[in-house]
Chain A
Amino acid sequence: MFRYSSAFVWLGVAAMGLTTLPAFAQTPNEVLATLKTAAAGEPNFQEFSAARGEQFFKVKHGKEWSCTSCHTDNPAAQGKHADTGKAIQPIAPSANAERFTDMAKVEKWFKRNCNDVLGRACTPQEKGDVLSYLLTVKK
């Protein structure tokens, strides 16, 4: 009896999925392009580098946490908030289609997380490096 009713639920979900495909405001590449426009205006701009981004993501910057404290060494895996233990969905766009699709959200979390990890805001260069790295991470 349950099996039938859950089958109906899945049919319903599938039908809804077909009719309302998720409409994201931006793609990660568009977010990257926006970051690039901002970064290119800075004095010591260098082309974004995934290697530098990976380095930045994985080391500590003089405080207790690195980005991996919450997002783990593998950006395609589920993370866990270092303070509260709350699960954090993967941060790599390959593993989580919602990531880097809303510039305001991206900026909000960069602001908070950079503050926690570096004690300051991240530069557009650093943000672009990180996103370049995250875009190379395969699922």
Chain B
Amino acid sequence: MNQRVLVWDVPTRVFHWLFALSFAACWYVSESDLWLSFHTFFGYLMLGLIAFRLVWGFMGGHYTRFSEFLYSPLAGLRYLRQALSGSGARYIGHNPAGSQAVYLLLALGLVVGLTGMFAQGGEEQHGAVAGWLAVSTGIIFKEAHGYLAIVMLLVVIGHLAGVAMESWLHKENLPRSMVTGFKEAAQGSAVSKPHYGVGVALLAAAIAFGIWWFFYAWHEPVAKHLGYGGAQPGLHVAFVGPKLPDNAKWRDECGGCHLAFHPNLLPARSWQKLMDGQNKHFGTDLALDDATKAAVLAFLLNNAAEHSDREAAYKINRSIKASEAPLRITETPYWVKKHAEISDAIWRSPKVKTKSNCGACHEDAEAGTFEDAAMKIPK
């Protein structure tokens, strides 16, 4: 006689579907700079979920404990062979092959999440580990992040294929039991406790994190989009991050005729040359007195590209030959390369007018951050 047995407790089901959702959401927006903070939200969520699952593997319901599905990879392969030949035994909990997928997905989710965190902390100087790594190290982590995510996708596909195969082989709907938690099992089989409280707490924690993130990263762009709280409407998900060094005198003296170009956009030798020639500044005499000139120059030199941990600063600086000291940001090879695809019609449009009008396309130009996510070409 068979009976309905609770196999997957509530926390494990909540974990499973949130984990799947996080993975899918991360993939869905992975190519979009504009949605970067959406991507990172689900990345952090995934890390939190994995942390929970690792603990739950020791404390959870009967079938969710690691001790219940400790199979070697070899045993997994053996089971896979049997299953493919149609003779695999039916397991109530994870079978030996499925267990490999569980371990692999947890491990990969962990390293994909961590490499993503370090990529962002190094390259963009954002997130939980902002400032821990140099931009150049961050770039290496980003490469690794991309490759590992592809490996994880392959494992996910393998997992889905395995679920389909098992469902067919044993004529039972495995996805449904991950929703209801129940399976048919022989009388006397072990039963998991539902653990409602923990499940609800896990779900509530994920939702609370989402609400917090909303106010952290999305409130402002959404408010702008709906028409209040900001001058420029637009529904990009802005990136929030550390403010760059600022200086009132510099803003005052250098922000009158054009955007106050942040010092991190040129190397120190360029600023030195520019300020030495301040009486012939692109055809204008800036007529700065010596004290003002010295104060502004000090701020420019101290925060020049080579002293900044911004991605743009790093890449601009790296692109300039050591023997050269360009006076224009718009003449540095990195800037030229990044803007090569913009058509003449856009440069000439009245809203842009000149290449140095960074603010026309970069919403965060005043702040000097030039986030990937804050960029849009005016229509």
Indicate if the CB atoms of A2 and B257 lie closer than 8 Å.
no
A108 to B256, CA, bound (A): 11
- The answer to whether the Cβ of B228 comes within 8 Å of any Cβ in the partner chain is yes
Indicate if the CB atoms of A6 and B229 lie closer than 8 Å.
yes
B228's partner among A6, A112, A115 (CB-CB below 8 A) is: A6
Indicate if the CB atoms of A81 and B257 lie closer than 8 Å.
yes
Indicate if the CB atoms of A85 and B357 lie closer than 8 Å.
yes
Shortest A119–chain B CB gap in Å is 11
B287's partner among A84, A86, A112 (CB-CB below 8 A) is: A112
The residue of chain A having its C-beta at the shortest distance from the C-beta of B287 within the complex is A111
Indicate if the CB atoms of B258 and A84 lie closer than 8 Å.
yes
The residue of chain A having its C-beta at the shortest distance from the C-beta of B224 within the complex is A2
A109 to B222, CA, bound (A): 40
A90 to B228, CA, bound (A): 25
Indicate if the CB atoms of A84 and B356 lie closer than 8 Å.
yes
User: Which residues of chain B have C-beta atoms less than 8 A from A108's C-beta?
Assistant: 287
Chain B 248-260 interface 0/1 with A at a Cβ cutoff of 8 Å (1 = within): 0000000011110
- The answer to whether the Cβ of B284 comes within 8 Å of any Cβ in the partner chain is yes
Shortest B10–chain A CB gap in Å is 30
- The bracket for how many chain A residues form the interface is 10 to 19
Chain B 216-255 interface 0/1 with A at a Cβ cutoff of 8 Å (1 = within): 0001001100101100000000000000000000000000
Chain B 331-355 interface 0/1 with A at a Cβ cutoff of 8 Å (1 = within): 0000000000000000000001110
Shortest A109–chain B CB gap in Å is 8
- The answer to whether the Cβ of A83 comes within 8 Å of any Cβ in the partner chain is yes
A84 to B281, CA, bound (A): 13
- The answer to whether the Cβ of A116 comes within 8 Å of any Cβ in the partner chain is yes
The residue of chain B having its C-beta at the shortest distance from the C-beta of A87 within the complex is B359
Indicate if the CB atoms of A81 and B284 lie closer than 8 Å.
no
Indicate if the CB atoms of B354 and A112 lie closer than 8 Å.
no
Indicate if the CB atoms of A2 and B284 lie closer than 8 Å.
no
Indicate if the CB atoms of B223 and A6 lie closer than 8 Å.
yes
Shortest A99–chain B CB gap in Å is 13
A105 to B356, CA, bound (A): 25
Indicate if the CB atoms of A84 and B223 lie closer than 8 Å.
no
Indicate if the CB atoms of A2 and B286 lie closer than 8 Å.
no
Indicate if the CB atoms of A86 and B228 lie closer than 8 Å.
no
Shortest B158–chain A CB gap in Å is 43
User: Which residues of chain A have C-beta atoms less than 8 A from B229's C-beta?
Assistant: 2, 6
User: Which residues of chain A have C-beta atoms less than 8 A from B226's C-beta?
Assistant: 2
Indicate if the CB atoms of B284 and A112 lie closer than 8 Å.
yes
A119 to B353, CA, bound (A): 25
The residue of chain B having its C-beta at the shortest distance from the C-beta of A81 within the complex is B257
Indicate if the CB atoms of A84 and B257 lie closer than 8 Å.
yes
Shortest B260–chain A CB gap in Å is 10
A62 to B219, CA, bound (A): 52
User: Which residues of chain B have C-beta atoms less than 8 A from A81's C-beta?
Assistant: 257-258
The residue of chain B having its C-beta at the shortest distance from the C-beta of A109 within the complex is B256
Indicate if the CB atoms of A85 and B352 lie closer than 8 Å.
yes
The residue of chain B having its C-beta at the shortest distance from the C-beta of A105 within the complex is B252
A85's partner among B256, B282, B284, B354 (CB-CB below 8 A) is: B354
The residue of chain A having its C-beta at the shortest distance from the C-beta of B359 within the complex is A86
B219's partner among A2, A84, A111 (CB-CB below 8 A) is: A2
- The answer to whether the Cβ of B285 comes within 8 Å of any Cβ in the partner chain is yes
User: Which residues of chain B have C-beta atoms less than 8 A from A5's C-beta?
Assistant: 219
User: Which residues of chain B have C-beta atoms less than 8 A from A6's C-beta?
Assistant: 223, 228-229
Q: List 28 A–B pairs whose Cβ atoms lie within 8 Å, in order of A's numbering.
A: A2-B219, A2-B222, A2-B228, A2-B229, A3-B228, A5-B219, A6-B223, A81-B257, A81-B258, A83-B258, A83-B282, A83-B354, A84-B257, A84-B353, A84-B354, A85-B360, A86-B257, A86-B259, A86-B357, A86-B359, A108-B287, A109-B256, A111-B285, A112-B284, A112-B286, A115-B285, A115-B287, A116-B284
Could you list which residues of chain A lie within 8 angstroms of chain B, going by C-beta atoms?
2-3, 5-6, 81, 83-86, 108-109, 111-112, 115-116
Given contacts A112-B287, A115-B287, 6 further A-B contacts (CB under 8 A): A2-B219, A6-B223, A85-B360, A86-B258, A112-B285, A115-B285
